[in-house]
Structure 1
């Protein structure tokens, strides 16, 4: 069974004095926005500063001045961004950031990054970048080119993206009847974010998502454990560089990416937390015109022995993937 775990991501920042997304917008609006990309809201949690929606395909976080949405599978997230722009109006929007990464099954997606930014260009003038090599792991980032907006230096985001997790981790996470509490224990969430409010869901037959919030802080984890296309993503505005080492020990992926917004020590300190067994394959950094400094690094676990070829089920409908 194949599932595209890689997420698309969008963040939209508004002119906060004109509107509070947390207090002035009701859940029906967010339900409609999520449905625009062919996803559904499963549940939600809230504190004074943030509301987190768990989706059928990843997560939506809403603060007073912005929202952040991630969707996986065959969703077309750009349609949700378009809906927000049409409903709220560009006059209330300060910044649009849209992001996609390399996918396992890019040819099965309903659109490409190029298709998506062509649609966005109807509403927003912007710039686009690729972080990483085209024939390997990479991230595409589009951002609105708005001279009146400059990101604050403490506006930070971190992403840890793990591919081809160990056989032991994959087998554990594809155990029939696995409960949410067992997955939390396996990922050591009580140790890592024990004081956060959690909302999680176990998908059928496999897969797991969790949202965690504490004040303005958030963390979200999405697990696609199937051996042929395993993928685990962790995103947060708390520093993930130190936590990455914990997740590497738990998951032992064959490769992983780290991506940061406004971690100014990213280049110098990233390797402090990475086991010596991993080798850096790609490192990119760029300061965007919106004042975000983006860092990207891809690491691989060198293969020491030959592995057998993967046998394809030529009778199966997904054999070409």
Structure 2
């Protein structure tokens, strides 16, 4: 994935072997400011572009595109994405970015707005090129040390987990979580894919001779990304000579995709958060994502806050043709949270059966429209407004 700003960060070059697709993801949630300080409830959305740039500069990334609605602001970055809600910031960066170096500035800006920290979550998979990562991302223990220096004093203390089969070291999921009190209901789905099908990956090259596309809009349509959650308004961006990013928004719900299509280190990620799980079919979302990339391996991490009941059963519903689940882990998190992690490996050529592919497109093999296409969707979770819950158990 060639980034336009790659050469401008002389201290943080991309790996000479290839571009690191696996993202580092930081999510910080804040409690309400006193009403006399922020009577309109703007919170972090009151930050200026200059202030946002000030912490992105520290992480070594820049804004390339923006899309907003009444609930939040989304930014496509030179390396992945940023989402700013009134009481939550989610920063996701790939390559050799220094994401954790942005924390002091984010906390400084939040303090100026009288927003106290409620919780923090940091997650990532296994880097393809771990030796190319700069400090403070040279190891998970180094990352945890930095996170604890800022958030270890929260009521739960800092909690770090390395999840996955010890005999499959390339399929590890790293999570750090600390919280002051339980959060409001929220479900986040993070999906990481490697070994992309060559023809599927070619869509994300700006080279028509190999089946590529001339624009981000064309990549979005041809890959089927626009059909994963059709209600999402999409802001997409193509990189030169290859690579792709998009953010999708719908009410308080967000989705994002990032693609590094080069064959020797191909990678794609999908994330959806703040959605109402009762209005989406888990297995349909997974299949639609897979249809655009046909990876040889993928993992899914579903993080649930605010009660496990329906969301837990929802996240167990995947039935993916041509893939074998080779790991499944449930990890409880402080404050009543739950992380469900699964990894899959392809067991047959191609990621989908012909019938499954047709169903993903919204039509069954007999030509009738499938239920999930005709169902009215209600993506946003109405209670998810400010990202905090006071004086109540989640």
Q: Structure 1 160/265 Cα, relative in aligned 2: closer, same or farther at 3 Å?
A: farther
1:297 shift after superposition: 0.2
Deviations 1:128-158 (A, max 9, x none): 0112135131111111143xx1023x31111
Equivalence for 1:116 = 143
Alpha-carbon distance between aligned partners in 2 of 1:228 and 1:129, rounded to the nearest angstrom: 29
- Asked if structure 1 preserves the Cα contact closer than 8 Å seen for 2:331 and 2:338, the reply is yes
- Asked if structure 2 preserves the Cα contact closer than 8 Å seen for 1:221 and 1:232, the reply is yes
Tell me, yes or no, if structure 1 residue 107 matches structure 2 residue 131. yes
Larger deviation, residues 189-198 vs 218-227:
189-198
Counterpart among 168, 173, 191 of residue 204 in structure 2 = 173
* Equivalent residue runs for 1:135-284 within 5 Å: 135-146=169-180, 149-152=181-184, 154-176=185-207, 178=213, 179-237=215-273, 238=275, 239=277, 240-262=282-304, 264=309, 270=315, 272-284=317-329
- Asked if structure 2 preserves the Cα contact closer than 8 Å seen for 1:127 and 1:145, the reply is no
Gaps of 5+ in 2: 1-16, 153-157, 350-394
2:245 is paired with a residue whose SS is strand
- Asked if structure 2 preserves the Cα contact closer than 8 Å seen for 1:33 and 1:83, the reply is yes
Alpha-carbon distance between aligned partners in 2 of 1:271 and 1:277, rounded to the nearest angstrom: 17
Q: Structure 1 108/200 Cα, relative in aligned 2: closer, same or farther at 3 Å?
A: same
Larger deviation, residues 162-171 vs 5-14:
162-171
Q: Structure 1 302/288 Cα, relative in aligned 2: closer, same or farther at 3 Å?
A: same
Deviations 1:43-99 (A, max 9, x none): 211111010011000000011111111000000111112321244349711111111
2:258 is paired with a residue whose SS is strand
2:46 is paired with a residue whose SS is coil
Equivalent residues, number: 301
1:175 shift after superposition: 4.7
- Asked if structure 1 preserves the Cα contact closer than 8 Å seen for 2:45 and 2:73, the reply is no
Larger deviation, residues 166-175 vs 1-10:
166-175
Tell me, yes or no, if structure 1 residue 64 matches structure 2 residue 95. no
Gaps of 5+ in 1: 305-321
Tell me, yes or no, if structure 1 residue 2 matches structure 2 residue 18. yes
- Asked if structure 2 preserves the Cα contact closer than 8 Å seen for 1:223 and 1:231, the reply is yes
- Which of these two proteins has the greater Rg computed from alpha carbons? 2
* Equivalent residue runs for 1:15-164 within 5 Å: 15-18=31-34, 20-89=42-111, 92-110=116-134, 111=137, 112-125=139-152, 126-134=158-166, 135-146=169-180, 149-152=181-184, 154-164=185-195
Q: Structure 1 271/155 Cα, relative in aligned 2: closer, same or farther at 3 Å?
A: closer
